[in-house]
Structure 1
Amino acid sequence: MEFFQTTEATTGEARVFNALREAFRQDEGLCFLRYPFFETRGRFRHEPDILMLHRDLGLLIIEVKDLQARHVSRMEGHTWHMADWHKGIEEPYAQAEAQIWSALKRFNSVPLLHDRLKHHALVALPNVPRAEWAAKGFTLLPCNPAILHKDELGPVTLRRRLGDFAGTAGRSRLTNEEWQKARAVLGFGTVIEQIQKRGGFAGTAARVAASETRIAALDLEQVSIGVEIPPGPQRIRGIAGSGKTMLLAIKAARMHLAHPDWDIAFTFNTKSLYQVIQSYITELCRYLGDSEPNWRKLRVMHAWGGRTTGPGLYYVTAQAMGRKARTSNDFKGTTISENLAVACRELLELGRVPELFDAVLVDEGQDLLSDFYRLAYAVLKAPKRLIWAYDEAQSLDHLTIPTSENLFGRGPDGKLLVDVAGQYPGGIYKSRIMRRCYRTPRQILLAAHAVGMGLLRPEGPVQAITTKSGWQDIGYSVETGGFASPGAEVVLVRSMANSGHPLDSLPMPRRPLLRSQGFADREAEFEACARCVQEQVRTGVRAEQIMVVHLGFKDELQRLAGRLSEAGVVVHSTEENPREFRRAGAVTVTGVHRAKGNESRVVFVTGLDCVERVEGEVVNRNHLFVALTRSRQECIVSGVSTRSRRLLHELETLHRMGDRVVFLAPDPKRLKRSLEDEPSPGVPSDPPRPQESPVRASVADDERFRTHLPLYDVRAAAGPWGAGRVVEQEVDGWVDATAIGALSTDMFAVRVAGKSMEPQIADGSIAVFRHLRDSVPEGKIVLVQQLQADHESVAVVVKRLARSVSGYRLESLNPLYSPLAFDPFSEKEPVRLLGVYLGVVPPARS
């Protein structure tokens, strides 16, 4: 079973959630702490504390109350009268029951699932033993609901109790097809399918649209990214077609429904995205909360704002500061992004920027410069929920990659001003990577990355990733070769696991999905494009699902639109209405800037020679990458032959290579841009140094490995080699580790002594680790056991495991300490891996 904590949890919620994880981890199902199915009671919307979908037990909603038995004075029906409590009345069972019916409405809307799910509403009292509840006489009342008590959270008892509840439902186990449909409901498959139907799929595209609901439900990592609300900044790096805009829309809708009083801004760079984003959020609010979005509180706005775009984030901030908003014409920068950055810098230099928003979500983050991000951060109220999504390969105007260091810089102490490494308490990651592509078939995506970076250029790539881990971050694997020696052959493949498009699982079609052709001149190219568009419409493709992207100047774009119209094709030009990208019954004709963020089933890319004129420049290669990756099924590329020979040859070579790319490892010094990412987001960062101990000498059995972990008296020496204390396998207490997230029996804690891992792990910190299995966690912080010089005693140390030219090395974060060569596969190695680092336990609250 997969478990997802989507927001901060109370102590009781964490205890119940961890107990479910311990008891059902081997079962088939999904369990969410706060899944955003909202039911409305009075003026408030409520979402389930815990929602569990189990293959055998069905759907369970659990309402958790952190109360003691003394807080409930009497019960009348399902109304609990409270004493010494923050509310006079509680109705936990009625609330859980309302939520179960609200959730069932979504499942029952799927014909195959109508009235098929077992379901049960429960109340959990993780602080109240069953005997104490019974002593008050509550178990004798006819209205006593199904309750999980403190002493019923052990794995065996908990499984039996939930089995007893579900056993009364009288429905059989879900079939495989029913189970996939049920998962799709929680994977937003139903609402995504609805959006796609309105998008105009028809003819042979029906098999694509019909498959995508199943795909969406299976990608649980995407679901967890979408529904989680981080308590601070979060960075989302995703390849083209991975669903960044949809996931930001899910986040925005979820925050809006859960916190209707919040002021939320969803901002972006491409004007034509207004229509897409507003439609996504509208459908999501209807699906999750049976309500329409309040656009006064959830504002979809352009990054800049202006006459054709309406209010933007910069424009609204300038107004709030009593300043006249500037326009791009007021500046002399070479790009709109640079002009916007100057405008934002002016406001920042004035100081006293008002805090206008509770959350700001930024789509197309690669197209916005650091001064815009700093302004967006400044207008946020604490805890500064700035969430930005980007794909550096789609940057059309500049080469800055929106990492936290590039955007916000470092303070005088050298620390990042906005740190997005590690996790927040509860387990929500500050950075996320989306490797799986849904929009573009693998054949097209592979070629787009290769030609976008220039991997086949005789002179070498213009931009590239130069590590195996870097390629893995965007969903590729290096089949053979490496990057240690420039000029060495590298074979790159894209795995099926990261290829979410339905066509990727089907036999290769007879006609390639990506085709290229050269013509004698532009008129011949436009004439051929018009004929091909007509042919697509005749074969059943709806006109609004065809996009023509021209890579040349606006005057040629107008000529292209005119030629299509002369051929009888109904045309919608984005130059005429930049806020509307698509119109029913019309083929969209657009430049690459307004195409970005949008998609169509069939994409024609014209003017390839306009890129070849300056093919050695990163931005121009990125233009081609963006154009290619707008395609959901087919992409036809063309240009003037005599001026497109190099790029046509690259595309033809990629076609012959099939499902892999063979190229020569680049020399990093010769690249115009490196696409390497920030340090791994899986490594938590800069925890505060403990000031008082959160350790207890002993805890109850039901707290062990659910809320507390054993602390071993190892005192891992995060210092010079050989300075660690000899290992003593004795438990030195139990530490409250709920801040780490869901706990398990393969986790433990040790106290770190020394400064070699500072600033990330402070001297005296209590660090949590998970026992290593068979893998070698390259790039991670690990706990290792070192054989001492006497070959009898051992010391335990904390280091980072890094790849070196000759193998591996164990290194410190503090540069004052030297690394050590290490071979994890050698039986004679005096150093043994014990565990991988998960985080630091925060100090106990006073």
Structure 2
Amino acid sequence: MAYMVPEVIRTSAAAGERLLFRTLKDHLPSDYVVYFESEIQGSRPDFVIIGPDLGLVVLEVKDYTKSALFEVDREEWLLHGSGGQMEAVKNPYLQARESLRHVVEQLKKDDNLIQQEGKFQGQLKFPQGFGTVFTRMKQKDFIEYSLYDAIAQSFVLCRDEIDPEDEGFSADSLIEKIHGMFTVWSRSRYILSQEDIRFIRNHLIHEVRISAEFRQPAKHQEQLVLSFHNMKALDLQQENMAKQLGDRHRLIRGVAGSGKTLVLASRAKLLSNHYPDWKILVLCSSIALSQSLQQMIDRMMEEPEDLLDWIRLEEQKDGRPRQQNVEVYNFHEWLNKALNSRDKDIPSLIGKLEKKEAILPMYEAILIDEGQDFQPEWLKLLSYLLNPATQNLLLVEDRAQSLFKRKSSLLKDTGLDFRGRSRFLSINYRNTAQIAQFAWDFYQRHSMLQNKVQFGSAKGVEIIPPQSTRRNGPEPSMKRCGSFQEELRAVVEHIRYLHNDHRVPYSEMVILYRVKDNYYSSYMDTIRRMLKVQGLPFHWISENAGTEQELGYTGGDAIIVSDIDSVKGLDFRAVFIVNAENMPFSLEEVEEHEVSLFYIAMTRAMEWLYISYSGDSKFTLYLDEVQQQRQEQKHSVKKMG
């Protein structure tokens, strides 16, 4: 998965640009950087791709249809305009070449990027290429209309070459095509270093836009649910919070594993039972978590609170219809199904709602889990869909797990006022004391938000430290290895030990990674090969629908393999974080994002946490330091004994 700048494409981008954005993101190696509409020397090339073994490639995107073409040649294209008039434009090949020239001229000003001596002195020391992308025409259209006479085939990407849903699409062919978009070839292959890439990126300016990319829902197996081993029932603090929240907007902030989701689910059941005529919406940002929430709420609905609730359940067993007033979705699934919209439509929807020009479904209550990952415009849209007579909105979040930091208040961003209506959960129920402390020590050491941590007072709280936990267990394990293969052998050994000696089901163990590949190898393929050779069943959680089927997964008890993002809100008895030297990820500009990700990964573990690495990074050097401190403490204890 390539590193994208910006992380999500603007909502007003053309459909073809959004398709290409997602395809490059999903199918290029993880150490590739892709810029969308970066500004350089006054020009804005559509896409700039930078890869260690690639160099730099500029892509210009055109949404021309074959019916729009009137006459084409190597210099100029004559098109049918939208108003019926003829429009002359420069050959897209020449436009792409001009865009690359602007980029090269700017980069040549940097001494760090040019050859200092030899035959090519003064030239950029890495290859530069360019190409064109036609998002609404296929290769057969280019052949039928002889368009390859106007642009050589090696410099053209057509719809069927960039659309993963097209039967002719091949990720390998796409990458090979991009690698062929060069007019000058050199026998000596230059590999860009991380420092080279950093120098190039210094010249590419991008605007930060708040938006979100729509992801097609993926099919996750039913076993990927929140574990109930450590939270079978609410404790008194959680129960009181669920029952005494009152009406109007309410905010719950809590540490990882504090039962925030359990409180939200209990609140949904309470509202459903007390207000059977209400329409209640439960939302989160993750597909897997939405399925977990649905199962949790369904389970709670089958458990009677009191005699009257028992009678209600018995009546339903007699054939009376069950209440269906609670809807559970991830945000984009709801946006698509309930509003028949996508992310790009949100600004328009808000504008129409402000002018009272739209009629959309209204809800008496909206409950939001993992609210720290909801964009301000999402929350603003939802605020318009709350029944004014109830105004019952519950937002549950943990700012320590936030992958983006709000630049201003919720009131200013969304119009939602939670002042005086906040509650806090500080007891960690999920993790053992050892895991909770280990993760929090890391967060305190590396987070730039230390001044936001508040102990005791709730005033101005942003990040809540865990105050206590109720279970003890083994210390998290850290292992420096000589290679990634050695890491995986150790992981396999631990998995067999837990499965055979502690009877831990495979499905309650997860292998987490930060990136799945780079330009010269695939970590994911290496994991897959190792588990297959060892005869261990596994299931890969992927962003992309259908990917897990490629691994031959047939269901049942299987080890979960996933990137960190995909397991937010879930927990497992044993967590294996591999290839930890990829954090902080070298291409990520905001280190706070990496701190949050590593914290999220560690706090998925209920009982056992294993972290392995075979290289150096800021985080692994910290882990070496912790390991050294442990050894010194053991040595001191032995001496005292």
Taking structure 1 as reference, are residues 267 and 295 closer, same or farther at Cα in structure 2, changes over 3 Å only? farther
Distance 1:579 1:243 in 2: 31
Query: What corresponds to 2:499 in structure 1?
Result: 537
Instruction: Provide the rounded CA distance (Å) in 2 between the counterparts of 1:357 and 1:633.
Output: 39
The Cα of 1:260 is off from its aligned counterpart by 1.6
CA distance in 1, matches of 2:363, 2:575: 38
Q: Contact 1:547–1:590 (CA<8 Å) still a contact in 2?
A: yes
1:514-533 to structure 2, matched below 5 A, reads: 514-533=476-495
Separation in 2 of the partners of 1:247 and 1:447?
25
* 1:279 is the counterpart of 2:295: yes
Whether the aligned pair in 2 keeps the contact of 1:238 and 1:390 (CA below 8 Å) is: yes
Please show how residues 345-356 of structure 1 align to structure 2 within 5 Å: 345-351=347-353, 352=356, 353=358, 354-356=360-362
Q: Does 1:386 align with 2:393?
A: yes
Kindly indicate whether residue 558 of structure 2 is the aligned counterpart of residue 595 of structure 1. Answer: no
Match of 2:373 among 346, 361, 367: 367
Q: How far apart in 1 are the matches of 2:441 and 2:380?
A: 33
Q: State the superposition RMSD in angstroms.
A: 3.7
Partner in structure 2 of residue 315 of structure 1: 336
Aligned to 2:470: 501
Aligned partners of 2:454 and 2:465 also within 8 Å: no
Deviation at 1:350, TM superposition (A): 2.5
| TM-score (norm: length of structure 1) | 0.41
SS in structure 2 of the partner of residue 469 of structure 1: coil
Q: How does 1:591-740 map to 2 (within 5 A)?
A: 591-614=563-586, 617-643=591-617, 645-652=620-627
CA distance in 2, matches of 1:447, 1:631: 11
**CA offset at residue 467 of structure 1?**
6.0
2:325 matches 1:297: yes
Among 426, 435, 442, the alignment partner of 2:433 is 442
Asked whether the 8 Å contact 1:602–1:634 carries over to 2, the reply is yes
1:579 and 1:296 map into 2 onto residues whose CA distance is: 32
Distance 2:497 2:347 in 1: 50
- Corresponding position of 1:552: 515
Instruction: Quote the residue 1:465 is aligned against.
Output: 451
* Cα offset, 1:257, TM superposition: 1.6
- AA of the residue aligned to 2:494: C
Superposed CA offset, 1:147-202 (max 9, x none): xxxxxxxxxxxxxxxxxxxxxxxxxxxxxxxxxxxxxxxxxxxxxxxx99x9889x
Q: Report the CA distance between 1:622 and its aligned residue.
A: 0.8
- SS of the aligned residue for 1:517 comes to strand
Against the structure 1 CA distance between its residues 402 and 528, is the aligned structure 2 distance closer, same or farther, given a 3 Å change threshold? Answer: farther
Pairing partner for 1:222 from 238, 254, 257: 238
Shift of 1:639: 1.5
In 2, distance between residues paired with 1:441 and 1:475? Answer: 24
For the 8 Å contact 2:454–2:461, the answer to whether it is kept is no
- Give the gaps of 5 or more residues in structure 2: 1-221, 634-641
Query: Does the 8 A contact of 2:431 with 2:605 survive in 1?
Result: yes
Computing the radius of gyration from Cα coordinates, the structure with the larger value is 1
CA 1:286–1:212: 2 relative to 1, 3 Å: closer
In the alignment, what sits opposite 1:741? none
Q: How far apart, CA to CA, are the structure 1 residues paired with 2:408 and 2:368?
A: 11
Report the CA distance between 1:453 and its aligned residue: 4.3
- Cα deviation for residue 476 of structure 1 reads 14
C-alpha contact (below 8 Å) 2:452/2:462 kept by paired residues? no
Give the match's secondary structure for 2:430. coil
Match of 1:120 in 2: none
The counterpart of 1:248, out of the listed 255, 259, 264, is 264
Tell whether the 8 Å contact from 2:452 to 2:461 is kept in structure 1 after alignment: no
Q: CA deviation at 1:521?
A: 2.2
Deviations 1:653-690 (A, max 9, x none): 675799xxxxxxxxxxxxxxxxxxxxxxxxxxxxxxxx
> How far did residue 595 of structure 1 move?
0.9
1:564 correspondence with 2:585: no
Distance in 2, matches of 1:393 and 1:499, equals: 17
Q: Give the number of the structure with larger relative contact order, counting CA–CA contacts within 8 Å between residues 6 or more apart.
A: 2
Alignment correspondent of 1:261: 277
Distance 2:486 2:345 in 1: 44
Number of matched residues? Answer: 381
TM-score computed with the length of structure 2 as normaliser: 0.53
SS at match of 1:252: helix
Matching residue within 433, 437, 445 for 1:454: 445
Q: Is the 8 A contact 1:578 1:594 kept in 2?
A: no
1:582 and 1:499 map into 2 onto residues whose CA distance is 40
C-alpha contact (below 8 Å) 2:231/2:259 kept by paired residues: no
Q: Measure, in 2, the Cα distance between the counterparts of 1:474 and 1:606.
A: 36
Deviation, structure 1 residue 371: 0.3
Pair 1:355–1:650, CA change in 2 (3 A): farther
Structure 1 residues 446 and 373, CA gap change in structure 2 (3 angstroms): same
* 3-state secondary structure, aligned to 2:576: strand
Note if 1:419 corresponds to 2:417. Answer: yes
Q: Which has the higher strand share?
A: 1
CA distance in 2, matches of 1:578, 1:513: 37
Percent sequence identity over matched residues? 21
Q: Which has the higher helix share?
A: 2
- How far the C-alpha of 1:355 sits from its partner, in A, is 4.7
**How has the CA–CA distance of structure 1 residues 245 and 645 changed in structure 2, closer, same or farther, with 3 Å as cutoff?**
closer
